[in-house]
């Protein structure tokens, strides 16, 4: 595997400690390249920057290693990488390690998942990795889990258009949780709209609200993580509801 070329990206920004931990873990598999947003781009989903030029500038990470910081979205970063900004096309895309979960409905918004999906759109095997806490900054367990999953993906291969979405429960360094292969669960968002006014009296808005409520249904990613397991969910780019195809064809449209 020494000839592998691995792209590491994220949505928390190029200087995120989660990205650095991920890169350091994956270095044992081959050569890693980092191309990630130059700032936090969480919840950008599969958005792309189409009407402005993109820039990718060299930066240095906390361990002294070189990286590229892009002023676009996570999807832009991966697209730039596979289309020729890097010296060669990556053999694997790993996105993360995200600070916070990407469980259930989160995947519709997640820039972490979107980076992996952009890799899959380009035909590159891709993994998204998240640490399910917002207050623990030790990413070593999640990085170790990412390394395990990367080895598995390279050995077994993923079908076209499929990514692995990996969520890791927090734990002390050196501990490895068992893995459960899961389906997406359900997270109910309790968003609220906060209206404020600037000094001229013009309103502006903030989204706020409590943390999403997770439905702990057995077999789902939210259930697995809540019970201390690493959740691995295969996600397909095909969003078709195949079960409804015939029913909709029968509608009098």
Q: What is the pLDDT of residue 2?
A: 61
d(CA 107, CA 172): 26
Cα dihedral angle (155, 100, 185, 178), rounded to 10 degrees?
50
pLDDT of residue 209: 84
213 in Cβ contact with 191 (< 8 Å): no
Across the strands, what pairs with 207?
Answer: 193
What pLDDT score does 218 carry?
95
Each domain of the chain, given as residue ranges in start order, spans 5-186+214-249
The three-state secondary structure class of 27 is coil
- What does each C-alpha distance from 56 to 9, 11, 27, 86, 228 come to in angstroms? 13, 15, 22, 10, 38
CATH of domain 5-186+214-249: 3.40.1210.10
Task: Write down the pLDDT at residue 171.
Answer: 78
- Quote the pLDDT of residue 174: 67
Q: Kindly state the greatest CA–CA separation across the chain.
A: 63
pLDDT at 5: 98
Q: By the 8 A CB rule, do 198 and 212 touch?
A: no
Q: What element of type H or E holds 223?
A: helix 221-226
Q: Give whole-number Cα distances, 212 to 20, 65, 118, 167, in Å.
A: 28, 37, 26, 16
Note the pTM of the prediction, 2 decimals: 0.94
What size, in residues, is the chain?
253
Which pLDDT does position 226 carry in this prediction? Answer: 93
Gap between the Cα atoms of 3 and 26, Å rounded:
13
DSSP assignment string, 129-176 = EEES-SS----HHHHHHHHHHHHHHHHH---TTEEEEEEE----TT--
Chain-centroid distance, C-alpha 61: 20
SS3 assignment, position 35: strand
Structure tokens at 159: 């079908």
Which of 133, 91, 93 is closest to 113 using CA atoms?
93
Do 223 and 216 contact (CB within 8 A), yes or no? Answer: yes
Residues of the chain under the 50 pLDDT cut: none
């Amino acid at each position: 595997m020494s000839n592998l070329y691995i792209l590491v990206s994220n949505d928390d920004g190029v200087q995120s400690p989660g990205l650095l931990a991920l890169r350091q873990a994956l270095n044992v598999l081959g050569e890693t390249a980092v191309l990630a947003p130059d700032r936090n781009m969480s919840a950008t989903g599969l958005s792309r920057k189409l009407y402005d030029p993109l820039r990718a500038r060299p930066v240095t990470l906390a361990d002294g290693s070189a990286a590229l910081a892009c002023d676009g979205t996570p999807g832009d970063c991966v697209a730039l990488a596979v289309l020729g900004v890097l010296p060669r096309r990556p053999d694997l895309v790993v996105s993360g390690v995200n600070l916070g979960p990407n469980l259930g409905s989160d995947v519709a918004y997640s820039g972490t998942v979107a980076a992996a999906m952009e890799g899959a759109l380009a035909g590159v095997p891709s993994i998204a990795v998240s640490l399910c806490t917002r207050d623990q900054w030790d990413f070593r367990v999640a990085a170790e889990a990412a390394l395990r999953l990367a080895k598995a993906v390279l050995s077994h291969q993923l079908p076209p258009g499929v990514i692995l979405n990996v969520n890791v429960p927090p734990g002390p360094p050196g501990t490895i949780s068992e893995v459960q292969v899961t389906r997406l669960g359900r997270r109910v968002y309790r968003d609220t709209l906060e209206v404020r006014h600037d000094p001229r009296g013009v309103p502006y808005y903030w989204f706020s609200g409590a943390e999403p409520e997770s439905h702990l249904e057995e077999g789902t990613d939210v259930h697995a993580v809540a019970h201390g397991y690493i959740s691995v969910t295969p996600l397909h780019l095909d969003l078709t509801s195949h079960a409804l195809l015939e029913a909709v064809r029968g509608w009098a449209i």
